[in-house]
Amino acid sequence: MLDFHQELHTHLFMASTNDRFVEAESRWDLKTLYADLAAVKGKPLTPVEKLHLRGLLCGNSPAEIAEKLQKNPKGVETDLCASIYKYVKGFVGKGIEKIENWRNIAEWLEDAGYKTKPPAKLPIQDALPKNSAVNISNISIDNNQITIDVLLQIIIPLPSELSIQNLDLNDNNAN
């Protein structure tokens, strides 16, 4: 019975850690970063190490990470020093350098190329003709995926030399 409770606790812990600091996924190449840090460590990062790293990459200080996770700040700082800080320093060639600030980790990883480029933003207002409309009709979350249903209505005025009468929309005259 104890094994079931331990397994349930582990499953619940994993679920709760995977949905924390998720914004790091859109800004960083976490898959490659986890793999590269695991190579330095000699084995995969633990869920807690990944969680703390994502917290740092989201711009949170160790104290803020501890607060958001309801942990002891000294414990989080100790964990970071014994794991993530050490792995990153070894990976980016800063092995003997002292970490002046927790922000150094994100800076060094950005310099190493792990930060992804933000997607190009197209201002929709400038791209669509006047009187066009974009309506979000539904948003759903299922299996870690967000689905957004959008109704796009584009109103394009005809040039003055064209008229509806001149357009053959039915294509009945095709031979």
Range 145-174 average pLDDT? 67
Q: Please report which confidence band the pLDDT of residue 164 belongs to, taking 50, 70 and 90 as the band edges.
A: low
Q: What pLDDT score was predicted for residue 37? A: 93
Q: Where are the alpha helices (DSSP H) in 19-159?
A: 24-27, 30-41, 47-57, 62-69, 73-82, 84-91, 103-111, 124-127
Instruction: Quick: pLDDT tens for 123-154.
Output: 655 666 677 777 777 777 777 777 888 777 77
Cα–Cα distances in angstroms (integers) from residue 78 to residues 13, 85, 91, 120, 162, in the given order: 20, 10, 19, 39, 73
More confident residue, 168 or 103: 103
Provide the pLDDT for residue 114.
92
Nearest to 84 by CA among 100, 105, 64: 105
Burial 67-106 (b: 16+ CB within 10 A, else e): eebeeeeeebbebbeebbbbbbbebbeeeeeebeebebbb
Output the pTM of the full model.
Answer: 0.59
Return d(Cα 99, Cα 96) in angstroms, integer: 9
> What digits encode the pLDDT tens for the residues 45-102?
999 999 999 999 999 999 999 999 999 999 999 999 999 999 999 888 887 888 889 9
